[in-house]
Amino acid sequence: MPAKVALICGGGAFPVVAANAAQARGEAVFLLGLRGIAGAEIEAFPHAWLGIGQLGRAFEEIGARGIKTVCFIGGLKRPEFTELRLDWGGIKRIPEIVKFLHGGDDHALKGVIKLFENQGLQVIGVDALAPELLAGQGDMAGKLPETLAADLAFARHFLTDLSAYDCGQAAVVANRRVIAVEAVEGTDSMLARVAELREKGRWRPKGRAGLLVKAPKRGQDLRVDLPAIGPDTLRGAEKAGLRGIAVAAGGVLMLDRAALAAQAERAGLFLHGFVGEAP
């Protein structure tokens, strides 16, 4: 069976999980691992390795297999231009690449999608490939406390407004107060900061308080860089003394939804998937 979808694989466990899920649905996949970034586990599938600037090579590997569809999956640190080690296919596209390396991450990623589309390829999101990897709707673990509904609404409006600046996929809010905002540091680091704020007495609620809210940026292309939560996020939320986590249903990656829900239940955290525009 010839491969139908090429997965461009970044770091973390998602590429292999997505490949397995796609295969389970009868989809033949070909994995293109980014060298130094993707894990060796991808070699369990039909695959090739690729330097991050080897655009020409990427298009060759994909074209040679008659593949028309690609999906980006897994974490990727934003590269600096000088680290790209462009091959000829990359060099030809320098003007396009330089343009999208300015500005926020979202801008950069839209540029990457465009490069692939200009090559006649269809870029699909994880929702099309393996929808079961995305957050579900409503209470996935525990129950969103009624008293936190206002905080959730506040946080969603806040994140929506931040989106205009290509910043902020996550924030911690308690009692209509922004405790922490995520920019470049990442969610885990932000949660560690909240735990520290508590230890140092800069934030002093009684007992568990507040919640982590995570969502794609408004207008974000869901075909790349979806926000994700995993076991570390739950551990971080627990250490930060939060009451739970709310994520955008269908817009946040969850590696093994059932396992995360079980972990949340054990930790006494609620895990909630919200839908639609901020109320």
A 10 A CB-CB count for 28 gives 15
- With contacts defined by CB under 8 A, name the span among 120-128, 172-180, 232-240, 242-250 that binds its own copies: 172-180
Q: Which of 154, 169, 191, 217 contacts its own copies by CB under 8 A?
A: 154
Q: Which of 153, 167, 222, 255 contacts its own copies by CB under 8 A?
A: 167
- The span from the CA of 161 to the CA of 10, in Å, is 29
Q: What angle do CA 18, 31, 42 make, to 5 degrees?
A: 75
Give the E-state strand segments of 58-135 in sequence order: 69-73, 122-124
* Three-state secondary-structure class, residue 214: strand
- With contacts defined by CB under 8 A, name the span among 25-33, 170-178, 248-256, 265-273 that binds its own copies: 170-178
> Which has the closest alpha carbon to 76: 41, 117, 32?
32
- With contacts defined by CB under 8 A, name the span among 9-17, 61-69, 167-175, 257-265 that binds its own copies: 167-175
Q: List, in sequence order, the alpha helices (H) in 42-104.
A: 55-64, 88-91, 94-101
- With contacts defined by CB under 8 A, name the span among 7-15, 43-51, 76-84, 91-99 that binds its own copies: 76-84
> Which has the closest alpha carbon to 182: 170, 193, 173?
170
- With contacts defined by CB under 8 A, name the span among 4-12, 67-75, 185-193, 244-252 that binds its own copies: 185-193
* Three-state secondary-structure class, residue 37: coil
Answer yes or no: are the C-beta atoms of 74 and 15 closer than 8 Å: yes
**219 CB burial (10 A radius; 0-12, 13-18, 19+):** exposed
Q: Which of 168, 230, 236, 273 contacts its own copies by CB under 8 A?
A: 168
Total number of residues that touch its own copies (CB under 8 A): 38
The CB-of-241 to its own copies minimum distance in angstroms stands at: 14
The smaller minimum CB distance to its own copies, of residues 19 and 191, is found at 191
Interaction mask 91-120, its own copies, x per CB under 8 A:
-----------xxxx---------------
The smaller minimum CB distance to its own copies, of residues 68 and 202, is found at 202
Chain residues in the site for its own copies (CB under 8 A): 77, 80, 82, 102-105, 154, 157-158, 161-162, 164-168, 171, 175-181, 183-186, 189, 193, 197, 201-206
